[in-house]
Structure 1
Amino acid sequence: MSDTYTDLRQRMIDGDTTITAAQLDKARRDEEFAGLQAEADAAAEARTAEQERQAALAALRADAQALAEKDFAELQKHYRTAVDSLRALRQGMAAFNRDQYRVQAEASRRLLDGEDFGQEIPAQLNAEFEVDRLINEAKSTAIPWHASRLHDEETRALIAEARGEGVA
């Protein structure tokens, strides 16, 4: 039979005369102690969880502080090199396009005079397209699928191999 305070009280109300004051008092104290123990356990768990949360926040703050103090000198050097290289590439393409335009104009003038030129003139370079291609190549480690006139022979060979060209 159950000996909780509520059960003992109800049995007494229902006419059980064997229940003593000491039994009621002990059942009430046991229930109060068990409830208090459960509250203490929950509070201890909450304190532990808060300590763990505070420790995680402290570690995160330390990581954020380390990022804030990060020396960007190496990245800045690479950035400057990339900007300088891209600027030189664009200037080189502009010079090629000026030369191409000059040769194309002279060839057109001569062809109008009926003279056979006998040589194909390369098309101009599309600087915006080539820069976009360059940026996309830099974003990936994958071998590009289409070669540019600006790719070196080694890169062109890698592209051909990736496409299965020239493989027996």
Structure 2
Amino acid sequence: MRIPREGEFVTIQSYKHDGRLHRTWRDTMVLKTSEHSIIGVNDHTLVTESDGRRWVTREPAIVYFHQKFWFNIIAMIREKGVSYYCNLASPYILDEEALKYIDYDLDIKVFPDGEKRLLDVDEYEQHRIAMNYPKEIDFILKENVKILVDWINNERGPFSEDYVAIWFKRYQQLSRRC
């Protein structure tokens, strides 16, 4: 698969552990690719749910995907500040069709004031049992929650104010060119 270039668009597809398509984001603009990561932006992006329901994202959001970590990060740029939505998920793969990952239900939301909440623990437990998640995956996900909380607490990577500002500015520059 050819790695997308800055300014190109990719589709993002999230799946569940049992292989069912969960959600699709159409036309995410690529801001940067490296050997192991992709940074992009969604801005009024069409999202399609597995049940066919469709909606459009409300604000610009910088998205961060990595091939070594079991999470992805969405930095939503809002009037009251940046909010983060972090999905505990498999590392991504990229093929001719889309950037793809498995969503494992657990999420961490970070509010502009720094408050953190672990979300969907009950849903994770239900799916862990119903879809028979291997013990290794359960362990990996719980370890990656710790890594993610450390990144949040220490303002690493996407949790840095500078990171969001730099990539949002780059998005604005690319948008003007198009």
Of structures 1 and 2, the one with the larger relative CO (CA 8 A, separation 6+) is: 2
TM beyond 0.5: no
Higher strand share: 2
Report the TM-score when normalising by structure 1.
Answer: 0.20
Report the TM-score when normalising by structure 2.
Answer: 0.19
Higher helix share: 1
